[in-house]
Amino acid sequence: MRFVRRGDRVAARRVGSEMVILSADDSSLFVLNEVGTLIWEAADGRTTLDAIAGGVCREFEVDTETARRDVAEFVQALAAAGVVSLSEDQSP
């Protein structure tokens, strides 16, 4: 199982239907759409990636495999940017 957790060194706020994320380290700016915002808000380090993909399936009517693949790619991209961290271990 894999877990995703929001990073400590970013600022974030929902503006309208989007999530605005700003890195303290390099001022990189990210704006997440509704799907990305759902993933971000679920990224508490205790919810599995599969469970997050399940939430995407329910909210946005996509099939399970597509949701799993898209969520995995999305969080990998965010992790590469330092916005989230991925772990095999659940956060306390």
Partner 1 sequence: MTTSLMDRIRDQAFASGVPLAVHFDLTYRCNERCLHCYLDHEDHGEMTTAEVKRVLDQLADAGTLFLTLSGGELLLRRDFFELLTYARMLRFDVKIKTNAILIGERDAVRIRDLGVRQVQISVYSHRADVHDAITKVPGSLARTVTAIRALTRLGLKVTIANVLMRQNAADYDGVRTLAAELGAEYTMDPTITPKMDGDTSVLALRMPQTQVLQLFKDRSLVGDDFCKPAAPAAIDDPDVLDALPCSAGHIACYITPYGDVYPCVQFPLPTGNLRRQPFLEIWRDSPQLAEVRAIRVRDLHGCPSCGFVATCTRCPGLAYMEGNMRGPSTADCEKSALRASAATAQGAFE
* List of residues contacting partner 1 (CB under 8 A): 8-16, 18, 20, 22-25, 27-29, 31
Q: Which is nearer to partner 1, 25 or 89 (CB)?
A: 25
**Least gap, CB of 75 to partner 1 (angstroms):** 18
Q: Are 43 and 4 in contact (CB under 8 A)?
A: yes
Determine the longest span between alpha carbons in the chain, in angstroms.
37
CA pair distance 90, 1, nearest whole angstrom:
9
* Shortest spacing between CB 59 and partner 1, in angstroms: 21
Cβ contact 34:17 at 8 Å: yes
- Rounded least distance, CB 31 to partner 1, Å: 6
Instruction: Single out the residue of 73, 69, 68 nearest to residue 55, CA to CA.
Output: 68
